[in-house]
Amino acid sequence: MTVLDVPMTELRGQQVLYPTREQYLDVAKALADDGFTIAVDLCGVDYLQHMERPLPDEVVAERFEVVVNLIDIGGRRRMRLRVQVPESEPTVASLFDLHPGTEAHERETFDMFGIEFDGHPDLTRILMPEDWVGHPLRKDYEIGRIPVQFKGAHA
Amino acid sequence: MSTTEEELTADDVVFTDDVAATSETVESAESGDDDRRYAVFVPNTYEGEQLLKPRSETTARELMREVGSVLRMSEAEAAMLGDLPEDPEEDQTMIINMGPQHPSTHGVLRLMLELQGEEVLRCKPIIGYLHTGMEKTAESLTYLQGGTNVTRMDYLSPFNNELVFSMATEALLGITDEIPERATWIRMLLSEMNRIASHLLFMATNGMDLGAVSMMIYGWREREEVLRFFQEVTGLRMNHNFIRPGGVAADLPPGWRDGVLQLMDMLPPRLDEYDTLMTGQPIWRERLQGVGVITPKEALALGATGPILRSTGVPWDLRHDLPYLEYEQLEFDTVVGSYGDAFDRYAIRLAEIRESMSLVHQILDHMPSGDYRIQDKKVTPPPRARIDESMEALIHHFKIFTEGFKVPEGEVYVGIEGPRGETGCYIASDGGPTPYRMHMRDPSFTNIQCLPHMMRGGLVADAVAVISSVDPVLGGVDR
């Protein structure tokens, strides 16, 4: 099934569109004209350890995904966009000019995954400290551990 | 500079040195080094790029882009609005940090305010002081343990967080329709009581921020009564992990109905007291009306939900509009405001307490008997009594708590109406016993973006009222 020349799936009662990076902004604009005027959530996923996930045939699986949840207030519908973002060039267009409410979400996605958003007015770290190295929610990011020391335990 | 120094007395030399140092920095700033230019203002709290850009770079064009995109019009049209403040001289404005440790910032929210006299020209919220990587933690907790994690995110609405996480897990498992009725109604009861508790706390903090200190004590007092009921039901005042994938952790304890009714009897006269103390009181109204106004267009564009969106007159409530659980069977109103100011947001929350109370009464009338969790052996551990009798039950119990249960591949987003707006949970599963990725869409995180728009052009004294009326919970913002 395709909508707006973009493959679509409907699983568990949820509609998902899979635009490419090039189609992404145009699809978001077309959907906004169709009533999906609120971008309620935007987040990233790093599929490094799960590259063989189920996707429509036309979609080429990449390491990162940007997931956008839209709401149509008038029609009381939800729609989700899943955009594939390659590891070699983790950049997508920013939704800021269309949905300014994604500003913080895009910054968070940049902070956590290192995905860059073209046209974002202030793409800086939002949750981690400024001088932090790396992007913590990436799957190849080591989790730090503090060694547990038991009092009186024999080494 | 050298001639001046010669003329000065010895006492003044220290002062001259300071000036010299400052002017040196300014000079180097003029040569284009932005970071050092700002070092003049905030040498001790310097955090690199987390700064407002220099005004010279963010004048007309940048501001217009901001307004233009929010109001959904071209920059040319936005310019014709003409309500953009005249750019003041650089030295007439002052940048002030409010927070992160400030009693009225509700935790560790930091605001950079650019002030001209008493007027707020710009504001930039800076967050992350409470960030503990809970979404990363979630990736190593099983679906049964996940509740303990999400319940701590927005710590004022623990039941709503658990509920949305459980609903997302159930959607992935494909057991949404098999959840026993009683479990569903217990979930509704608890999330409505949670809304009451959360809004009562808002009453307390809002009162405190605006100087009605006695209101703080009253609000906390009433909330504590609700929490006492939670404690009877779940064993804990907060962070319950009571709503779990498959149902709830335990049945309601004996006497729960009396507990609820007692609360419902206690609250109405107390709410009337709030009305006397605040709603009709001229000082309170003066302090809130017309403060922090946001238009419906702005609120929608910024993704605001919950009382903030409803205060602008948009009747959007997920319980009505995209119903979940059994809310379709209940009768209640969506409370909306008309001006989108801080007073509307206060009044909406007060009215929502009353609506939730009516919902609780209806839930009490409906509460069916039966199972409180699904009898799917995959998801539900065997009851305690079976463990004493059956070796298989013991093994099963052990396995479900150590390894967890596997959840089919896929991804799902579920959103519910929390006290602050849409609480959403996005889970991507790779077929394993822990979520491959779990993301919480916390309403406070999005709502905080409204602050700059609500504050622009207002007084710095009203900034406190505005933060308070947005009611952010920093545990949810930073996660």
Which tops the pLDDT comparison, B85 or A148?
A148
Give contacts of A69 with chain B, Cβ < 8 Å: 413, 415, 424, 426, 441
Amino acid symbol at B399: K
Contact between A104 and B446 using a beta-carbon 8 Å cutoff? yes
Q: Verify whether the Cβ–Cβ distance B430 to A14 is below 8 Å.
A: no
Tens of pLDDT along B150-188?
A: 999 999 999 999 999 999 999 999 998 899 999 999 999
Residue B54 has pLDDT above 50, yes or no: yes
The pLDDT-based confidence of B88 (bands split at 50, 70, 90) is low
Q: Is A39's pLDDT higher than 70?
A: yes
Of the pLDDT bands very low, low, confident and very high (cuts 50, 70, 90), residue B232 is: very high
Q: What's the pLDDT score for residue B318? A: 92
Q: Which residues contact B361 (CB under 8 A, 6 or more apart)?
A: B264
Q: CA nearest B205: which of B161, B265, B151, B156?
A: B156
Which residues is A78 bridged to in the sheet? Answer: A71
Which residue, among B195, B208, B93, B210, has the nearest Cα to B154 in the 3D structure?
A: B195
Name, in order, each residue with C-beta under 8 angstroms of A152's C-beta and a sequence gap of 6 or more.
Answer: none
The pLDDT of residue B90: 63
As a whole number, mean pLDDT of residues B28-48 equals 45
CA B220 to chain centre: 18
What is the helix (H) or strand (E) element at residue A79, kind and residue range?
A: strand A77-85
> Residue A150 has what pLDDT?
65
Q: In whole angstroms, give the CA distance from residue B42 to residue B55.
A: 16
Q: Which two tokens stand for residue B382?
A: 């065997």
The predicted structure's pLDDT at residue A130? 82
Q: Mutating which of B53, B321, B413 best tests the A interface, going by the most A Cβ atoms within 10 A?
A: B413
**Residue B38 pLDDT class (50, 70, 90 cuts):** very low
Picking from A38, A78, A131, the nearest residue to B48 by CB comes out as A131
Q: Which of B353, B361, B362 is nearest to B260 (CA)?
A: B361
Q: Do A143 and B430 touch (CB under 8 A)?
A: no
Which among B411, B434, B445, B479 is the top mutation candidate for probing chain A, defined by the most A β-carbons within 10 Å of its own β-carbon?
Answer: B411
pLDDT, residue A148, reads 65
Eight-state DSSP code of residue B124: E
Q: Are A12 and B448 within 8 A, CB to CB?
A: no
According to DSSP, residue A91 is labeled E
Q: Which of B446, B447, B479 to mutate to test the interface with A (most CBs of A within 10 A)?
A: B446
Strands A116-118 vs A91-93: parallel, antiparallel or unpaired: parallel
Inter-chain touch B437–A45, beta carbons under 8 Å? yes
State whether A126 and B316 contact (CB < 8 Å).
no
Q: What are the pLDDT digits (tens) for B5-37?
A: 444 444 443 343 444 444 444 444 444 455 544
Nearest to A127 among B127, B140, B426 (CB): B127
CB–CB contact A130 B303 (8 Å): no
Tell me the per-residue pLDDT of A88-107, one tens digit each, with 9 for 90 and over: 999 999 998 888 889 899 99
| CB–CB contact B300 A38 (8 Å) | yes
**A106 touches A117 (CB < 8 A):** yes
Report percent pLDDT > 70 for chain B.
81
The sign of the torsion formed by the CA atoms of B138, B143, B145, B148 equals positive
Q: What is the ipTM of this complex?
A: 0.91
How much is the pLDDT for B7? 44
